Amino acid sequence: MTTLSDAARAEIERQCARLVHVYANANDAGDWQAVAGLYAADGVMFRPTAPDEPLTGRDVILASLRARPARTTRHVCANVVIDVASETLATGESAMLLFTGAPQPLVGSYRDRFVLTEEGWRFAERRGSLLFGP
């Protein structure tokens, strides 16, 4: 097993944390193609509002996103912590605050598995959960 340098580990952490933030911004922009493209080809998404319903593969994720009713949102991601397992695998956790225009925002978290692909770091799995909601 290859031991990663501190610099290599920090770079993987940076790239995976960036992926979390790009995901939030693309989601808020309604750029569903970009959101789906942040997953590995066989990536799995579990929505915070449907944590027991896995969506597997970019095409399925994209179709699900496109089927949602249009809405204006702002996701705020914080407390992003990435743990590097190897040169090609990492995990992460982040807190999420979702504003939808409703009186009370949704508060939840994501647990992520990241994988290095030919396209760069992507979500192998993104599992959302709600802690506080309407």
pLDDT in tens, 46-55: 998 888 999 9
Residue 115 tokens read as 């994988």
Q: What ranges in the chain are assigned the alpha helix state H? A: 6-29, 32-37, 58-67
Q: What pTM was estimated for this model as a whole?
A: 0.94
Q: Which long-range contacts (CB under 8 A, 24 or more apart) does 56-65 make?
A: 61/35, 61/36, 62/32, 62/33, 62/35, 62/36, 65/32, 65/35, 65/36
Query: Is 2's pLDDT higher than 70?
Result: no
Residue 133: the pLDDT is 66
**Domain ranges for the chain:** 6-132
Confidence of residue 102 (pLDDT cuts 50, 70, 90): confident
Q: Which one has a higher pLDDT value, 50 or 20? A: 20
Query: Is 32's pLDDT higher than 70?
Result: yes
Which CATH number describes the domain made up of 6-132?
A: 3.10.450.50
